[in-house]
Amino acid sequence: MVFDVPFIRPVFPSSEVLAADVTEIVQSNWFTNFGPKEQRFRTGVANYLGSDLEVVTFNNATTALVAALSQLLEARPAGGLVIVPSFTFAAGPQAIRWSGHHPLFIDIDEESLQPSLQAAHTAWDQYGTRIVGILLCNTFGIGSEDVDGWETFAADRDLPLIIDSAAGFGSVYPDGTSVGTRGDCEIFSFHATKPFAIGEGGAVATRDTGVAESLRSFSNFGFEGADGSVRAGLNGKLQEINAAIGLRQLLTIDDVVRERRQVLGRYADIFADADSGRIVRNAENSSVCFAPVLLNDSITRDPLLDGLRDSGIEARVYYGPPVHRHPTFKRDLRVGRLESTEVVSTRILCLPVFQGMAETVFQRVEALVDEHC
């Protein structure tokens, strides 16, 4: 189905600008393998996030997740349990599998929609040292309001805390610190669907130089100096053309985030006036990869979803079904019945968000909300 208001509309540098970058790359004869643009790009990302950070780039965020989990859990017994929410994208639980471990699904907080710290305590009470790590997902790219508690929980149990902030580049935590600066490391996606888009790409940010070195080695077949492969690895390197796009996008990311937050504010007003739902808490502090609305429990989502789509507005549902209901994960362990996850997955609605949205789009959304809610 073709929508006149698509869910996303990526903004990239002009073809003339990209042509100049490609010409420079061709003339340098350096297309990949940690080229000059990749080096400048990873430094630029680190500088954007804050001081004392190391950034390792990857060809995509899923590779980055596999690398981070593999390296930070390397000394843990194989087949361990990694705490992760079910209300997330499947890439995280899949990466846990690829690292040689198993997801242990926990519930979310029904108000913030972030992974429940209380559920993590329950998980530890039930499974104890079978748990080898935590994959904390910053749902919708929104920084967890409990990140301090998660860091304490992990440190008290000597558990690596890996934070999946795939949609969170440009976001800040409620305390004002940049998403990308917490836990043992944080992972970003730079996919074309993200506010900071380079086509395909990802990165890991960490303050641990040793972790950064092992991740960079992992991305290059485990090579380290003249010794050859010293650890498990694969080809996860970022190409020069994607790094070149990233360097261009760093120049505009603050303006992009500002405009996307304005879109979110318009949606917030629409649903507040209709008393039919609310923007997910703390979304205003994010880079607004998503415009997620939690509908009131008195509202049936499908008529509004269908009405939007039938009128040419591409609304989507994230994350439904939750991951623990995906066929490949049905046999994995979960903590409790995941009741909040089940409820929220039927009430969440994500609306289009991109730069340059016309006022008429908001008027159409408002009319449909009034009609169906």
The domains located in the chain, with CATH, are 15-250 (3.40.640.10), 253-372 (3.90.1150.10)
Residues 230, 222: Cα–Cα separation, whole Å: 6
pLDDT at 33: 97
pLDDT tens, 79-123? 999 999 999 999 999 999 999 999 999 999 999 999 999 999 999
H/E stretch holding 291: strand 291-295
Q: Which two tokens stand for residue 334?
A: 């979960």
What pTM, to 2 d.p., does this model score?
0.97
Position 98: which residue type? Answer: W
Contact 180, 49 (CB under 8 A): yes
Q: Which two tokens stand for residue 109?
A: 């907080």
pLDDT at 132: 98
The pairs formed by 293-297 with CB atoms below 8 angstroms and a separation of 24 or more are: 293/267, 293/348, 293/349, 293/350, 293/351, 294/113, 294/344, 294/347, 294/348, 295/347, 295/348, 295/349, 295/373, 296/347, 297/343, 297/347
Residues 106, 311: Cα–Cα separation, whole Å: 37
H/E stretch holding 203: strand 202-206
Residues 18, 37: Cα–Cα separation, whole Å: 13
Which residue, chain included where needed, has tokens 């350096």? 30
Angle at 294 between CA 289 and CA 297, to 5 degrees: 165
pLDDT at 225: 86
Between the CA of residue 275 and those of 91, 264, 303, 366, what are the distances in Å? 34, 16, 17, 12
pLDDT at 226: 82
Residues 273, 277: Cα–Cα separation, whole Å: 9
Query: What pLDDT tens digit does each residue of the chain (373 aa) get?
Result: 889 999 999 999 999 999 999 999 999 999 999 999 999 999 999 999 987 999 999 999 999 999 999 999 999 999 999 999 999 999 999 999 999 999 999 999 999 999 999 999 999 999 999 999 999 999 999 999 999 999 999 999 999 999 999 999 999 999 999 999 999 999 999 999 999 999 999 999 999 999 999 999 999 999 998 889 999 999 999 999 999 999 999 999 999 999 999 999 999 999 998 889 999 999 999 999 999 999 999 999 999 999 999 999 999 999 989 999 999 999 999 999 999 999 999 999 999 999 999 999 999 999 999 999 8
CA atoms lying within 13 Å on the CB side of residue 177: 12
Position 173: which residue type? Answer: Y
pLDDT at 264: 98
Residues 48, 60: Cα–Cα separation, whole Å: 19
Residues 307, 315: Cα–Cα separation, whole Å: 10
Residue 186 sits at φ, ψ, to 5 deg, of: -130, 145
367 C-beta neighbours (distance < 10 Å), count: 13
Residues 94, 103: Cα–Cα separation, whole Å: 8
Helix runs in the chain, H state only: 15-28, 36-49, 61-72, 91-98, 117-127, 147-156, 209-218, 240-250, 253-274, 301-310, 339-344, 359-372
Q: Which two tokens stand for residue 246?
A: 């990233």
Q: What is the signed CA dihedral for 160, 82, 115, 64, rounded to 10 degrees?
A: 70
pLDDT at 257: 98
